[in-house]
Amino acid sequence: PDGWEARYDVLAIDGEIHVASGETRYRGEDGAFGPRYANVFVCRFDADGRCTDFTEWWTLERSAED
């Protein structure tokens, strides 16, 4: 609810299909960042550079206790 930070890198580009991966963290009401979410995005773009299809996979970072 109080912000987020993210980092993403391009993994592959094959014509109109682009793949990126990275991580996202959300800040809680107490101001501290919560766990990390690992993300992979697959995007398809048209000839004008607009995204026409978007798929996201994510997983929550496991804690040391898990």
Residue 48: strand, helix, or coil: coil
Give pLDDT tens digits for 33-47.
989 999 999 999 999
Q: Residue 60 pLDDT more than 70?
A: yes
What is the model's pLDDT at position 61? 83
What letter would DSSP give residue 62?
P
Virtual torsion, Cα 38, 44, 47, 24, nearest 10 deg: -20
Question: Beta-strand (E) ranges in 1-66?
Answer: 4-14, 17-27, 33-45, 51-60
What letter would DSSP give residue 30?
T
Identity of residue 36: R
pLDDT band for 2, please (50, 70, 90 cuts).
confident
What is the model's pLDDT at position 4? 92
What is the model's pLDDT at position 64? 60
